Amino acid sequence: MSTRPADTASWPEPATAGQTSMFYAAEKDPSGSSFTTDFTVTVDGPLDRERVRRAAALLTAATPSLRLRLTIDDWTGEVVQSFCDDPLDVEWHTIAEDEVPALVARSGERPVEADDGPLARLVVAEHGFDRHTVSLVIHHLAMDGLSQIPLLRQLGAALAGRPRHQPVAVYRQAVREVRAAEEAALRDDRDHWYERVPSTLSLAGWNTPAVRAADAGGPSADGPGCSREALPPEAAKQLEIAATRSGVRVSHLLTAAVHHASPVRPGGTTAVCNAASVRPRHGELADVIGNFVNEVPLLAAVGPDRSVADTARANRQRWSEDLRKRTFPFATLATRVPAPQPGRAPALDSVVMSYRRLPRGIGWEDGGLSFSSSLYSRYPTAKTEIAVRFFHDGDELEYEVQWGRNLPAGAGEEFRVRLAAALRTL
């Protein structure tokens, strides 16, 4: 006998292919926190526990992605999503402001259960009656990069007592349109992508000093690591000049630099996956808060005598064409590449990068409260063997390199050094 509700509008619906891939990746994540980040705001003005409790309820009710629950349908085996009306949990702490980063880091390292669990929680640090820090600790399944600023402003509006209501029907329509685009891509773009990523593709192994040391009996595994660096303003300006001179975009040069940093045999094919938005771009669907991303593999052959600019120029047209076909489900491509050996032969998404032009921080006022927030949030650990994120704000460019547990000891640091060297050539 069916246990599904009679009201079909409340039935679970299939997730997008991108959400499905992330769901399974999160379920396999041994730390349980690789896909968790925080959106943190400093709040000046009167704020007490009851006001935050009301804000949590308002924020949840007004934002479908914060009510999202994903699980595997017992009937179809698909990953499906539904909505739960329970308000976000709230943690309250009274600590000094300089203790906030450690508090948020500890909270972010606590696993978020992707399978039928709440995907977000609020962590509040009280520093005095008129000074607080509020962090939304959130799973990547509930948001993407384009959701960051709208979600921060939604949090501020909820604390002010007036968040913008986003109907569940609008969120569902965005998901349906992405699914339709994915299905169309499977039909129309299969030949394109099967030519790009043939079943015979063999990615160049990570033949590096770190790998050779591990093969010779040295330490066999690296621990997770993270490094964040900033280009000097004059170097960031030079990057724009180099892109113009080479007839490419800044994103092309950065993608090429990541290819050159990837520790592979000269001439071998390398893959750098670009985290690309696949959200609808029209009307109210363009502003939906949620996760609408896909991984797009950008392949290149890095020759021993080829510069970073040469690699960007040689692949510019191909990468642009690939990104235009970004809705093709990545999981379909990943299964075409031979199974990787951790730390030796990379998977298709062993190296993932993103590039965003956005300010370092934002500030605003609402309902008698003043808010300020940094937009350069962190993930506790790398989601893949190597993850690179570039943040570009005018003449400032920062980048973060994270590496996971499956690399030979020292390989993550080796990649960081190689990337810094590649960027210096531009």
Share of the chain above pLDDT 70, in %: 92
Cβ(185)–Cβ(329) under 8 Å? yes
Q: DSSP string covering 200-213, please?
A: T--PPP--SHHHHH
Cα angle at 134 between 129 and 138, to 5 degrees?
165
Name the average pLDDT for the chain: 89
Cβ(329)–Cβ(320) under 8 Å? no
The stretches of 293-410 forming alpha helices (DSSP H) are: 308-324, 330-334
Tell me the whole-structure pTM to 2 decimals: 0.91
Q: What is the pLDDT of residue 241?
A: 93
Indicate if the pLDDT at residue 163 is higher than 80.
Answer: yes
User: Between 233-246 and 308-324, two packed helices, what is the crossing angle to 10 degrees?
Assistant: 70
Identify the band that residue 265 occupies on the pLDDT scale cut at 50, 70 and 90: low
Rounded to whole angstroms, the Cα distance separating 397 from 253 reads 13
